């Protein structure tokens, strides 16, 4: 099995990566970082992987787990909330992780009422346990 982390370039992503690493170490398994991209162009994919690799290594160092095994999965998904959510959920179904770790950010009441979010869609539709990490701000 594994622990999966839905990664995005936001402030909550570092916290999600750190908690995902802790969960993987606790469960004695590896970490899979899922990152949704608009397309899988080879040059863009390599640049994304390099940036994500740096973020993962920083997160592992922050929680003192530099030797934890991990992998990055770039998944095509577009920009639309529903498309990104489905890309993550589809990958999670394929991987079958023990748990999925996601980051969440504060949203206004209006944003909650009228706009969906990737995190909300994942929480409602996932078939695996979800651990939500939110920035303390």
pLDDT tens sequence across 36-94: 888 777 777 777 888 889 999 999 999 999 999 999 999 988 778 888 999 999 999 99
How much of the chain exceeds pLDDT 90, in percent?
55
Average model confidence (pLDDT) across the chain? 87
How much is the pLDDT for 116? 62
Number of helices and strands in the chain (H, E): 5, 5
> Domain range holding 101?
2-134
Q: How many domains does the chain have?
A: 1
Query: What element of type H or E holds 21?
Result: helix 11-27
Which CATH number goes with the domain that contains 13? 3.40.50.620
pLDDT (0 to 100) of residue 60: 94
pLDDT > 70? residue 11: no
* Sheet architecture: strand order including 99-104: 70-76, 30-37, 2-7, 99-104, 130-134
């Amino acid at each position: 099995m594994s622990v999966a982390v839905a990664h995005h370039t936001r402030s909550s992503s570092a916290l999600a990566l750190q908690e995902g690493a802790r969960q993987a170490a606790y469960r004695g398994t590896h970490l899979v970082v899922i990152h949704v991209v608009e397309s899988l162009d080879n040059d863009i994919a390599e640049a994304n992987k390099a940036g994500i690799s740096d973020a993962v290594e920083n997160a592992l160092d922050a929680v003192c787990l530099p030797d934890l095994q991990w992998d990055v999965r770039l998944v095509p998904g577009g920009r639309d909330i529903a498309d990104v959510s489905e890309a993550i959920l589809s990958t999670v179904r394929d991987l079958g992780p023990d748990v999925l770790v996601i980051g969440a950010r504060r949203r206004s009441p209006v944003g909650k009422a009228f706009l969906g979010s990737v995190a909300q869609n994942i929480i409602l539709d996932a078939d695996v346990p979800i651990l939500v990490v939110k920035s303390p701000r």
